[in-house]
């Protein structure tokens, strides 16, 4: 079910995805902060609907637009033995920091952190890991905490 929040007017497009990082210190004095700061920090969201309401933002000095968003966990990689469709697992980062690897963003997906519970929705292809790890691409959703 979508929830209401606000994002920069330029980013307010259906399909736009972002990772909510949490409130800034400037947000303390904002009169509409309850509508803006209602997402879970470090989770990824997707804009599903635009509303015709804007506000001035104390954080960035810009205009923000009211939007409806849904959680949108990013594609990721998991250990081959953990990747079972329908299972709920605790996500663990691969620990590899090779920025030149073609799978880097699957192994370090924005919006997922080690220790977070996720549900495996779909198991994809095996990944060629330069470190010899048995990894597989997966589509996931955030699991209830």
User: pLDDT of 10-65, one tens digit each?
Assistant: 999 999 999 999 998 888 889 999 988 999 999 999 999 999 999 999 888 889 99
Any idea of the CA torsion for 16, 121, 75, 93, to the nearest 10 degrees? 130
pLDDT tens, residue by residue, 2-18: 899 999 999 999 999 99
Q: How far apart are CA 103 and CA 135, in angstroms?
A: 10
Q: What are the pLDDT digits (tens) for 63-120? A: 999 999 999 999 999 999 889 999 999 998 888 889 999 999 999 999 999 999 999 9
pLDDT of residue 58: 87
CA proximity to 8, closest of 48, 57, 64: 64
Q: What is the maximum alpha-carbon separation in the chain?
A: 52
Under DSSP, the state recorded for 106 is: H
Whether residue 145 has pLDDT greater than 70 = no
């Amino acid at each position: 079910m979508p929830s209401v929040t606000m994002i920069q007017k330029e980013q307010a497009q259906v399909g736009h995805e972002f990772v909510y990082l949490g409130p800034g210190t400037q947000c303390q004095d904002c009169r509409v902060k309850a509508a803006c700061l209602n997402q879970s920090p470090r989770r990824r969201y997707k804009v599903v609907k635009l509303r015709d309401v804007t506000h001035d933002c104390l954080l960035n000095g810009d205009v923000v637009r009211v939007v409806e968003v849904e959680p949108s966990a990013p594609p990721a990689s998991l250990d081959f033995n953990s990747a079972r469709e329908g299972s709920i697992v605790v996500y663990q980062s691969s620990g590899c920091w090779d920025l030149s690897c073609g799978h880097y963003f699957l192994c370090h997906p924005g919006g997922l952190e080690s220790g977070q519970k996720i549900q495996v929705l779909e198991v994809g292809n095996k990944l060629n890991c330069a470190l010899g790890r048995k990894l597989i691409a997966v589509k996931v959703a955030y699991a209830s905490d």
